[in-house]
Chain A
Amino acid sequence: MKSVNKSKLIKFLVILAAIFLLIFFNFRGWLSFPKNLTYWVSYPFLKLFQTVDNKIASTWHFWVTLKDLNKENAELKSANQLMWQQNAQLKEMARENEALRQQLGLGQLTKQRLIMANVVGYSPSLGQYFLVDKGSNEGVVLDSAVVAANNFLVGRVVEVNKNYSKVLLLSDSNSLVNVVAQDSRVSGLVRGSHGLVLNLEMVPIDAALKSGETVLTSGLNDEIPKGLIVGQVAEVVKKENEIWQQVTIQPAVDFKKIEQVFILLR
């Protein structure tokens, strides 16, 4: 065994010291300029690769699903008919609700302000994050909720820079969101599991949760408004001698296929 090379050891210690210094600078918030500069330089390349990647993925997906198109078309037509009917009913109910609110003097519901952002990058290490091209310049603030089209919750903003922000996805193990099941009104906490599935925690063993039920945000998290769609109950496992059920949620969105998101402004 050779002895440790002195010059290598010095190089190692210098690099280590430099990294620790940078971590300290970042902790004090002194790295925002280099961060914004690096993002500004790399943005065109990130955008280019993201666009090419999306084009390839969509073409590939088209060819892979080509054989099932007829079946899928029939299913979608049937779902469309059903939604048409539900939409008509809901419109009537909304009108009725509006009239009742006026009569009771409750005022109009406030409309949520939101901005569209493009997904331009992903985290390379632990955790489920992605990068969006809107930052504090556009009014994004920490903990803003991020949704995909149709009010499907994607995650929340965990870091804001001048021109870009980092979004923590629902599928991350650190993400905790208060939710409620739409039909049974059972409430719980949704937590990601290494980016694979969503688990619904804190659901008592006697709660009557049904498979296929839609799960919505309950609004108990300050930053995430009520009524955003999280997903559907995929599996419910009840074990004897346990106080909580094991519930798996199928997310409403495929996090890997998201190209654009909306950030809810406050």
Chain B
Amino acid sequence: MRNILIFLAVLLAAVLQASVMPQLALANVTPSLVLAGVLAWAIWPQEQKPIWIFLVPALLLDLVVGRPFGLLTLNLMLVFFGVDWLASSFFKQSNWPAIFSLTLIGVLFFELGNWLLSWIFAALGLAASLKFSAFYFYATWPTSLILNGFLCLVVWWLFNQIRFIKSNGPITKFK
């Protein structure tokens, strides 16, 4: 039941992402609810995390509005596994500096992935090659860091609140 509810919430996030979120774009950067969810889930201090909760909505989002198909899902999964590995290997996920650092790394990783994967997709003939100007790096990336980083922290805080309500106390103690 709990997993179904989480799945439905994430599905709702995917639909919101395709309909409402682009209206909140700043400097043409759309805050990504799905990225925020995936990142917060990757940072979340838990050994075994079911990834299908985010994989399926990302895939559905990709099926309907993604172009080229697969780029978003592939990038999100790389971000998830990359940040999850970093989080469990190098960081203590229960303090704010670690969470901030992992969030920033995750968003940067996502933007870098977007850029690299679009080149690879174009080279393989799966998409038209994109023209990236300097603006993409000096304006888009910092804006994305702020918007998506903030959104990820909000989602992480929500996860923590849910855990707090369920267990009568936060799992993490901030230092």
Listed in ascending order, the chain A residues whose CB lies under 8 Å from chain B are 1-2, 4-5, 8, 11-12, 15-16, 19-20, 22-23, 26-27, 31, 34-35, 38-39, 42, 45-46, 49-50, 52-53, 57, 120-127, 129, 131, 158-159, 164, 166, 173-174, 191, 193-196, 256
**B89 contacts which chain A residues (CB < 8 A)?**
1-2
Interface stretch of the complex, out of B27-35, B93-101, B158-166: B27-35
**A122 contacts which chain B residues (CB < 8 A)?**
18-19, 21-22, 30, 65
B23: nearest residue on chain A (CB-CB)? Answer: A53
The complex places the Cα of A2 from the Cα of B85 at a distance, in Å, of: 9
**A125 contacts which chain B residues (CB < 8 A)?**
66-67, 71-72, 75, 114
B81 near A38 (CB under 8 angstroms)?
no
Q: Which of A39, A42, A46, A174 contacts B130 (CB 8 A)?
A: A174
Instruction: Give 6 A-B contacts (CB < 8 Å), ordered by A residue.
Output: A35-B64, A42-B64, A124-B32, A125-B66, A191-B131, A193-B133
- Contacts A19-B74, A256-B22; A27 near B64 (Cβ below 8 A): no
A-B pairs with lowest CB-CB distance, top 5: A49-B19, A23-B70, A122-B22, A195-B28, A121-B18
**B60 contacts which chain A residues (CB < 8 A)?**
38, 42
The complex places the Cα of A193 from the Cα of B84 at a distance, in Å, of: 34
Does B63 lie at the interface of the complex (its beta carbon under 8 Å from any beta carbon of A)? yes
A23-B74, A121-B64, A124-B30 given; name 5 further pairs at CB < 8 Å.
A2-B89, A11-B51, A23-B70, A27-B126, A131-B18
**B34 contacts which chain A residues (CB < 8 A)?**
124
The complex places the Cα of A12 from the Cα of B84 at a distance, in Å, of: 11
A1 near B90 (CB under 8 angstroms)?
yes
B contact face: mostly helix, strand, loop, or mixed:
helix
Listed in ascending order, the chain B residues whose CB lies under 8 Å from chain A are 12, 15-23, 25, 27-28, 30, 32, 34, 51, 55, 59-61, 63-67, 69-75, 77, 81, 84-85, 88-90, 114, 118, 126, 128-133, 135-136, 140
A174: nearest residue on chain B (CB-CB)? Answer: B128
**B12 contacts which chain A residues (CB < 8 A)?**
45
The complex places the Cα of A164 from the Cα of B23 at a distance, in Å, of: 21
B63 near A34 (CB under 8 angstroms)?
yes
A26: nearest residue on chain B (CB-CB)? Answer: B69
**A38 contacts which chain B residues (CB < 8 A)?**
60, 63-64
**A194 contacts which chain B residues (CB < 8 A)?**
28, 133, 135-136, 140
**Most chain B beta carbons < 10 A, residue from A50, A124, A129, A166:** A124
A4 near B85 (CB under 8 angstroms)?
yes
- Contacts A19-B70, A22-B70; A31 near B23 (Cβ below 8 A): no
The complex places the Cα of A129 from the Cα of B42 at a distance, in Å, of: 29
A129 near B65 (CB under 8 angstroms)?
yes
Q: Which of A8, A123, A159, A193 contacts B81 (CB 8 A)?
A: A8
**B69 contacts which chain A residues (CB < 8 A)?**
22-23, 26, 31
- Contacts A22-B59, A122-B18; A8 near B64 (Cβ below 8 A): no
The complex places the Cα of A64 from the Cα of B64 at a distance, in Å, of: 34
A46 near B70 (CB under 8 angstroms)?
no
A12: nearest residue on chain B (CB-CB)? Answer: B81
Measured CB to CB, the closest approach of chain B to A27, in angstroms, equals: 6
Measured CB to CB, the closest approach of chain B to A222, in angstroms, equals: 17
A196 near B84 (CB under 8 angstroms)?
no
- Contacts A46-B18, A122-B22; A23 near B126 (Cβ below 8 A): yes
The complex places the Cα of A23 from the Cα of B51 at a distance, in Å, of: 19
The complex places the Cα of A174 from the Cα of B68 at a distance, in Å, of: 13
A45 near B15 (CB under 8 angstroms)?
yes
**B67 contacts which chain A residues (CB < 8 A)?**
123, 125, 127, 129, 158-159, 166
